[in-house]
Structure 1
């Protein structure tokens, strides 16, 4: 299968990275699609210019993709200013077709930043239309609309997970190593909280695992929209 993580920003894949690693371990192909260029990702750096920050985050995402042997597409929208539009819908359809996605992981429809919620909505739309031959026929349509799983955004957004993927010790260790390739974002979080995103993801993996009597897990919800609803056996 071809598994696509479609997110607003470089590093948002943290919520499904362990699951992606498990797909890769069994031989599935991975693709990352980021909508923004990440140019606002240096919260306490007044010296660097936005294009410099964007270039750094692209390099970090390239390194993450390389660690999984994955394809990477960036739609290069301004960070913090992602809006649903005909152009973005067309570009998303094209991107989903280019990677030939069978399964998509994306943001939950309610989240702490509008960039995430907009991407979720656009993905829902584009996944359906990626199957329709008469829509943007320059790139061949998919034989079926990709199934969608929503990533867990954390508490406070009406997300109640129903599907869990167990992570063993080695997979969690590799997830944290790969996530820390986003060095700029680890530094931002350490400035904000005193610990980085990898620390947060380790804590969350323990919390999600406890819900299913396992040491570590990631959790998801399936999309319930027609033709995009996944079977649970699509998870590794």
Structure 2
């Protein structure tokens, strides 16, 4: 096993909100870390134009990934307009073939924002297609299909407000300082949320939710996941194998 993990989400800061505690634990076990986004978050500003905020947010994402010794990638699709189509599937498949991850994390299939849901669908298909040779993708096909895990939806609920409990918890209590530091790299998003949502608790909200997941399993902080177990995907839980007692 190459021991490579890819977290592919819609926007810069999504991974920091949902799975960087787990990425940190994997890093400590010798795993190579890649964080990627479908978009540069080009709509996420009330001050900068699209070009300006894209450059800012990609720089913030690189700085965050660097704290894990990881690599950041951006597929450069447009924020708010992520589609499940040929272009997005081919681009995501090309990235997965380039990185050759053993594990992929992505957004919840049901979430508050369609960008997240479309990203989840695209990544599901891209993982399945990593071994299909007749794709319109130059990168070399590989097998087996990566393990695919869906992170929590934001606030752990669907768009109708119904709870969406995880089936897998990872105790990230010892990783919270780094998780907080990585999220703090995204200063522009904190400022955008302050302007757009009139809320100034970017990091505090993350900590409250991660703490609530921790309380569900009797630890300080936890991140929640569901594993994709459809036909053609690995059926064992590699997170439990690699991280042992940290996984519930």
TM range (shorter): over 0.9
SS of the residue 2:34 aligns to: strand
Aligned to 1:11: 13
Question: Does 2:23 align with 1:20?
Answer: yes
Distance in 1 of aligned mates of 2:169 and 2:202 = 20
Question: Does 2:207 align with 1:182?
Answer: no
Question: Does 2:226 align with 1:221?
Answer: yes
Stretches of structure 1 lacking an aligned partner (at least 5 in a row): none
Distance in 2 of aligned mates of 1:71 and 1:173 = 20
Aligned to 1:112: 112
Let me know the Cα RMSD of the aligned residues.
1.6
What do residues 71-129 of structure 1 show as CA deviations (whole Å, max 9, x unaligned)?
22211011111111111111111000111111111011111111110010011111011
Which of 196, 199, 209 lines up with 2:201 in the alignment?
A: 196
SS of the residue 2:156 aligns to: coil
Stretches of structure 2 lacking an aligned partner (at least 5 in a row): 244-248
Aligned to 1:80: 80
Give the conservation status (yes or no) of the 8 Å contact 1:148–1:230.
no
Distance in 1 of aligned mates of 2:4 and 2:124 = 17
Distance in 2 of aligned mates of 1:3 and 1:117 = 21
Deviation at 1:64, TM superposition (A): 1.0
- How do 1:56-71 residues align onto structure 2 when only pairs under 5 Å count? 56-71=56-71
Distance in 1 of aligned mates of 2:137 and 2:192 = 42
- How do 1:68-217 residues align onto structure 2 when only pairs under 5 Å count? 68-136=68-136, 138-153=138-153, 154-157=155-158, 159-169=164-174, 171-191=175-195, 192-217=197-222
Give the conservation status (yes or no) of the 8 Å contact 2:65–2:182.
no
User: CA 1:230/1:57 → structure 2, altered by over 3 Å: closer, same or farther?
Assistant: farther
SS of the residue 1:187 aligns to: helix
Normalising by structure 2, report the TM-score.
0.88
SS of the residue 2:122 aligns to: helix
Distance in 2 of aligned mates of 1:229 and 1:198 = 34
SS of the residue 1:36 aligns to: coil
Normalising by structure 1, report the TM-score.
0.92
Give the conservation status (yes or no) of the 8 Å contact 2:7–2:34.
yes
Deviation at 1:195, TM superposition (A): 3.0
Question: Does 2:34 align with 1:31?
Answer: yes
Deviation at 1:187, TM superposition (A): 1.9
User: CA 1:137/1:185 → structure 2, altered by over 3 Å: closer, same or farther?
Assistant: closer
Distance in 2 of aligned mates of 1:232 and 1:193 = 40
Higher mean C-alpha deviation, range 51-60 or range 67-76: 67-76
User: CA 1:193/1:79 → structure 2, altered by over 3 Å: closer, same or farther?
Assistant: same
